[in-house]
Structure 1
Amino acid sequence: MGRIVVVGAASGIGAALAKHFHASGDHVLAVDLREPQSPVSEYRQCDLRDAERIGAVLADIGSGWDMLAHVAGIPGTAPAADVLNVNYLGMRLMAEGMLPLLREGGSIVTVASTAALGWDQRIDVLSELLELTDSQAVAQWQARQDPAYPVYSTSKQAAILYTKRLAGPAWAKYGVRVNTVSPGPVQTPILSDFEETMGKEVLDLCRATVGRHATVDDVVPVIAFLGSPDARWITGQDIHVDGGFLTSMTAGPPVQLI
């Protein structure tokens, strides 16, 4: 039986992941602002904008965990400072706090997004954000940025770059692997928020290109695999789970099959 912490377990991908692990007989600790409706082993209420609350949860749950699955995130329809403080800083504080609570051979998997496309072209800007570790400083940083650039994309870019920079030290000091999973559009309750912020025509193009939007069942097995011993030599990676949409945009003309 594994011991799994799922942050963001009350809805969407996080709820499906918690259900998957619980059905497999694992001990699942759900961390969320709202209590999950599906069965879990334990629940801790947590607002990821509140560093003190994150610290209190971490101080309360003990050690010997096998995996942190950090799925929680809010869309770009929320206030910009909240988006960064939940999607980037809250994730960072949770991940760093969990490292000493995970057993050697454990894993951290964070859900990022294909909306983070281009993170590698913004490393200088993102590096400024990654130097900040308190919510007020993060909010002040965002206030200086171009308001036309989607803050949701920035938050997920920061999550990917932070994970890549954490991978080496986490492996060397704790024997823990850290990776991100980047889904494309997924049929969850916040899909309409993404249509509002990214444009419905963009999401319709994604769906037309690959045939459909993802379901949570397309994403959950990838997260579970990355958390398992079968992925023991994978760390510091961002795995796209998007039906090939980004590849179709970036790889040039497709091969014409007869």
Structure 2
Amino acid sequence: MAKDILGYKGKRVVVMGCFSGTGEAAARLLVDLGAEVHGADIKPSPVNLASFTEVDLKKPDAIAAGIAAIGGKIDAVFNVSGLPQTFPGEDVVTVNFLGIRAWTEGWIPHLNPGAAIVSVSSLAGMGYLARQPLLREFMGITDFAEARQWYADRAAELGDPYSLSKELINTWTQVSAPDLIGRDIRINCTMPSPIDTPMLGEFRKIAGDAVLGAFAKAKGRYSTPEEQALPLILLNSDAARFISGVCLPVDAGLAGGLATGVLNIQQMIAEASAA
């Protein structure tokens, strides 16, 4: 029999955002791999989970209650929840970063040695290294209300709240990794290109077909939820036990092409518009 290199059988894992899309796909795959999967979201999941807990990431009390309701020791945390830009900016930043951070940090005392954390970021957060002083200033605010006010006071200069939230996820992941590895806990994130999920329609309202088409050009299509769920599962698995602090593009080579100048996003948008 082949060795179980992923090592999920018998592990207790938590999937935040298991209602639909990538989170639902991840939860299903983890169940198939033999994990004891505990889900959380604002809507019940269709997956046959060990438990489901309703959690609103905008509310610190709900986050703490959700962690207490699931309880016990955990081997892996999957953060897949997120809001698009069609929601108020304060809510986007709160759910996509502040809530995810509070949820994750609340689990850290309950994580077994060798545990791992993975979050879904986005290619929209690619520019995080160019805004480090600003992002680190925001990261220094731990109170939800204070952080929301900080964002509201600067919303015009901060730009797209979704991109900001994903830049924060990338930065937080890499800033947290050195300390967590000292506790035998790994943390990573993925940066997907557009995914064929119900949320894609919300992004289309903001970005338009040309921009989404440009970001899908590398492969000629959008990725599937499963194609995004599998890298999450890999990063939290035993097979990736020496990987931490990584912001992994899952985009069929798009980020690499842009970084090296092989691809030009403005040209790609223009070509997609013409098509």
Q: TM-score, normalised by structure 1?
A: 0.94
Q: How does 1:20-169 map to 2 (within 5 A)?
A: 20-147=29-156, 149-169=159-179
Q: CA deviation at 1:210?
A: 2.6
Give the letter aligned to residue 240 of structure 1: P
Secondary structure of 1:147's aligned partner: helix
> Does residue 194 of structure 1 match 2:203?
yes
Q: Which moved more, 1:140-149 or 1:12-21?
A: 140-149
Unaligned runs of 5+ in 2: 1-9, 264-275
Secondary structure of 1:81's aligned partner: helix
> Does residue 9 of structure 1 match 2:54?
no
After superposition, what is the alpha-carbon deviation per residue over 1:119-173, rounded to whole angstroms, capped at 9, x for unaligned?
000011111110111221122111122437110000011011011111111111x
Could you tell me which of 217, 220, 238 is aligned with 1:211? 220
Name the counterpart of 2:253: 244
1:146–1:84 CA distance, 2 compared to 1 (3 A): closer
Preserved CA contact (<8 Å) 2:17 2:41: yes
Secondary structure of 1:208's aligned partner: coil
Secondary structure of 2:261's aligned partner: coil
Superposed CA RMSD in Å reads 1.3
> Does residue 227 of structure 1 match 2:232?
no
What is the CA–CA distance in structure 2 between the aligned matches of 1:180 and 1:75, rounded to whole Å?
18
Secondary structure of 1:240's aligned partner: strand
Unaligned runs of 5+ in 1: none
Secondary structure of 1:43's aligned partner: strand
1:134–1:171 CA distance, 2 compared to 1 (3 A): same
What is the CA–CA distance in structure 2 between the aligned matches of 1:168 and 1:209, rounded to whole Å?
33
Give the letter aligned to residue 187 of structure 2: V
Could you tell me which of 161, 164, 175 is aligned with 2:184? 175
Q: Which moved more, 1:218-227 or 1:245-254?
A: 245-254
Q: Which moved more, 1:38-47 or 1:139-148?
A: 139-148
Preserved CA contact (<8 Å) 2:53 2:69: no
Q: Which runs of 4+ in 1 moved over 4 A?
A: none
Identity %: 32
Preserved CA contact (<8 Å) 1:63 1:103: no
Give the letter aligned to residue 185 of structure 2: V
What is the CA–CA distance in structure 1 between the aligned matches of 2:227 and 2:115, rounded to whole Å?
23
Q: CA deviation at 1:2?
A: 1.5
What is the CA–CA distance in structure 1 between the aligned matches of 2:241 and 2:11, rounded to whole Å?
15
